[in-house]
Structure 1
């Protein structure tokens, strides 16, 4: 019995000596802090990133999917133009994200076709314009010397009027001219809020049918998109 205890203690002491001398290797449970850091995988290349960056890496198209235009305004439309633009805007189905505002406009330059002498003549000229792909115009029906002429746009600056006339000439309109005419007109603009990327694309398509109308940013009212 004593001999067994003697050899057992000797064996245990031998194991402890071998462990302390490193003959049994390095055990993770007894590793010190510097050793654990040394065993990490390339610790010098670890970087902290924000949640936004992490999400962008996970889904690089996320920003495009959720893109929102805060508020865009298109105008200014005459009363006669409202049915046409409102019919087109219905395609967006914006509900309370769409509103109409009144605009007092003082213009001094008009691109127009002189009076055709009668309603029949004006209607015939209007048909010719449509065949040329021009739809943004209206027949003048007031009691001025331009009655039964056709307005192709009213502009605040002469340069803008000249640029529009050049565009019409390129499309084949030869009888249009620019006239100085200071008038105050009641016009209307439409504000569209919180447009998604898909809605913005549809709006851009609608705008292409109204080349003389201006698109501008507007001050968005508070709106929570559901």
Structure 2
């Protein structure tokens, strides 16, 4: 009887201890490792900061040539043009010639000198039939470009200051082949800059 008494006492104590330790609601808290998948899903749901490629800066006078170059590299639907407002720029150009025919003759001379980056101004402004060779944000870059033209034999080009609307082109989360195409575009436009930046919220 004495042994049975102590055995029943032990069982009662064990049961009482279990009741006190069991949390309210009848279920124990899950171990910490079971929560990890939920945390991972939450992190995956948060928006990641996208990286953009920004190519610029250009002025309104370049828009036609830029559009043609972008189309040639099949990037029409992959880059977005953003307006940057008006700012002073330094323009390397050959002053307006007497007619379209004279301007085309001058462009032929430039081509024979190995120069390919130029456009004829074709509008109703006082710059009609000028030959544009590049726009630069600071005078040092414009002077360096002009010096390079002088070495190739171009004597009639000058630097002028103008206030023009500026734009840049943005590619959101570009793939590797797209980045390569934009690098080739940059090479076609001396003085332009290609850089990565955090995409602005749209």
Q: Does the C-alpha gap of structure 1 residues 182 and 100 become closer, same or farther in structure 2, counting only changes over 3 Å?
A: closer
Which residue of 1 is the match for residue 108 of structure 2?
Answer: 127
- 1:98, CA displacement in angstroms? 2.3
Paired with 1:163 and 1:175, the residues of 2 have a C-alpha distance of 16
SS of 1:208's equivalent in the other structure is helix
**Residue 115 (structure 2) pairs with residue 114 (structure 1):** no
Q: For 1:10-38, what per-residue CA distance to the aligned partner results, in whole angstroms no more than 9, with x for missing partners?
A: xxxxxxxxxxxxxxxxxxxxxxxxxxxxx
Matched, 1:188 2:167: yes
Tell me what 2:149 maps to.
Answer: 168
8 Å contact 1:107–1:154 — kept in the other structure? Answer: no
Give the number of the structure with larger relative contact order, counting CA–CA contacts within 8 Å between residues 6 or more apart.
2
Q: CA deviation at 1:222?
A: 6.8
Match of 1:197 in 2: 176
Q: Deviations over 1:73-103 (max 9, x none)?
A: 112152322332221341x57x4x5211123
The 5 A counterparts of 1:19-168 are 70-75=51-56, 76-77=58-59, 78-90=62-74, 92=75, 95=77, 97-140=78-121, 141-144=123-126, 146-168=127-149
Structure 1 residues 170 and 219 mapped into 2: Cα distance closer, same or farther (>3 Å)? farther
SS at match of 1:211: coil
Once the two structures are TM-superposed, the CA of residue 120 in structure 1 deviates from its matched residue by 0.8
- 1:162 offset after TM fit, Å? 0.2
Unaligned 5+ runs, structure 1: 1-68
Runs of 4+ with >6 A deviation: none
Unaligned runs of at least 5 residues, structure 2: 1-49
- SS state at 1:159 partner: helix
What's the RMSD between the two structures over aligned residues? 2.8
Displacement of 1:166 in angstroms is 1.6
Q: Distance in 2 between matches of 1:134 and 1:219?
A: 36
> Residues 155 and 98 from structure 1, CA distance in 2 versus in 1: closer, same or farther, beyond 3 angstroms?
closer
Summarize the Cα distance change of 1:70–1:150 in structure 2 as closer, same or farther, 3 Å threshold.
same
